[in-house]
Amino acid sequence: MRIGITCYPTYGGSGVVATELGIELAGLGHEVHFISYSQPFRLNGRDEGIFYHEVPVSNYPLFEFPPYDLALASRMAEVAEFYALDLLHVHYAIPHSVSALLARQMLASRGRRLPFVTTLHGTDITLVGLDRSYLAITRHGIQESDGVTSISNYLKEKTIADFGVTRPIETITNFVNCDVYTPITDADVRAKARLHLAAPNEAILMHLSNFRPVKRVVDAVKIFARVVKERPAQLVLVGDGPDRSAAEWLAHDLGIHNKVRFLGKLERVNELLPLADILLMPSELESFGLAALEAMACKVPSIATRVGGVPELIDDGISGLLYDVGDVNAMAAGALSLLNDPTRLEAMRCAARKAAQQRFCATLVVPQYVRFYEQVLAQEPEKYSRSLTA
């Protein structure tokens, strides 16, 4: 198949999933064309079968807001035509599903078919899409998609309840490449690599996010402050975003800044995650929690919040521990109980890796997308043209 993928290419879970999906699809022999305003950050330009098409957005003095969604629609139609795309797969409903809808209409008027699949990721449904200025158009984009997938059952139910979407939505969970995200099995190698981040007697707690308010990175610092009072430890924060300054200030105010390391945005998180003992994911909301899955594949369990789709990923008490949002005392106590009981921690580490392998491995999930594309492509052309004119 020749598949066009559109996503937010910068730091963010939906862009990561879209990029990893493109890489996996190309690995299966499909031709993948990314269409976006910049190169998705996990692409290196060297992957066979992957092409990148930038969306130029020209400005004009009349435009206070350059219309990216229109430029995207034009580019989608252009790329689909030039490269004979079979379908488009857009990640994050706003505005990508609407641009795809326009591209589909543009090509239909020229007698060419371009179905599109929309994958719902999170804040497109739970936050941004609920804003009055976007709600109706987001619902329209979803409703008019040729296929819709959601990354968790939670998000699927939320879309039906809050947007009144009546078309079927298929849950296809996020996934991880279990050969790229792996534990470091040699204890000596792992111990040596950890020395870059912590002293041998220190536990490593890690947090990985885009530091937006929804991630509650400040809670990660609060949890760590309670842990480090009781035992030697380091907090390693990977990523960057609006709440970084608040987290840095808190670490200084609490006098623990020499134990807190901000590594910034990094690409090869698969090399860092296996060095952690525990991942902290104290989010206000997660429709899935991709960072926790990537950590699980590296044999790292999470202390996380019982929100959104997280309970579909983490089996509380088995592959991680779940708490109420903001309950930093309980989360710190949970982290300490694991760190002070190496046998229990090891059992949880093994369960985390096993869950990633058995339920969320790319080899299991990516074929679900391929089957879904085939179903969309098999939809009868008459039905397709009816939906276009309806």
As measured in angstroms, the least distance from the Cβ of 154 to ligand GMT is: 9
- Could you list the residues that contact ligand GMT (CB under 6 A)? 12-15, 17, 92, 121-123, 126, 151, 174, 210, 212, 214, 285-290, 308
- Between 118 and 234, name the residue whose CB sits nearer to ligand GMT: 118
As measured in angstroms, the least distance from the Cβ of 291 to ligand GMT is: 7
As measured in angstroms, the least distance from the Cβ of 381 to ligand GMT is: 32
37 contacts 103 by C-beta, under 8 angstroms: no
DSSP 139-168: HHHHHTSSEEEESSHHHHHHHHHHH---S-
- Between 13 and 115, name the residue whose CB sits nearer to ligand GMT: 13
Residue 271 CA to residue 275 CA, distance in Å, equals 8
- Between 13 and 40, name the residue whose CB sits nearer to ligand GMT: 13
Residue 271 CA to residue 69 CA, distance in Å, equals 36
193 contacts 275 by C-beta, under 8 angstroms: yes
- Between 79 and 214, name the residue whose CB sits nearer to ligand GMT: 214
As measured in angstroms, the least distance from the Cβ of 214 to ligand GMT is: 5
- Between 113 and 212, name the residue whose CB sits nearer to ligand GMT: 212
The token pair that represents 83 in the structure block: 């490269």
- Between 98 and 290, name the residue whose CB sits nearer to ligand GMT: 290
As measured in angstroms, the least distance from the Cβ of 50 to ligand GMT is: 20
As measured in angstroms, the least distance from the Cβ of 3 to ligand GMT is: 18
As measured in angstroms, the least distance from the Cβ of 310 to ligand GMT is: 8
Residue 174 CA to residue 51 CA, distance in Å, equals 23
What is the C-alpha end-to-end distance of the chain, expressed in Å? 28
Q: Which regions of the chain does DSSP assign to beta strands (E)? A: 2-6, 31-36, 50-54, 87-91, 116-120, 147-150, 170-171, 203-208, 233-238, 260-264, 278-281, 302-305, 320-323
As measured in angstroms, the least distance from the Cβ of 285 to ligand GMT is: 5
Residue 334 CA to residue 53 CA, distance in Å, equals 46
Residue 24 CA to residue 174 CA, distance in Å, equals 13
DSSP 206: E
- Between 114 and 320, name the residue whose CB sits nearer to ligand GMT: 320
- Between 202 and 284, name the residue whose CB sits nearer to ligand GMT: 284
Cα-based distances in Å from 61 to 16, 72, 201 = 34, 20, 60
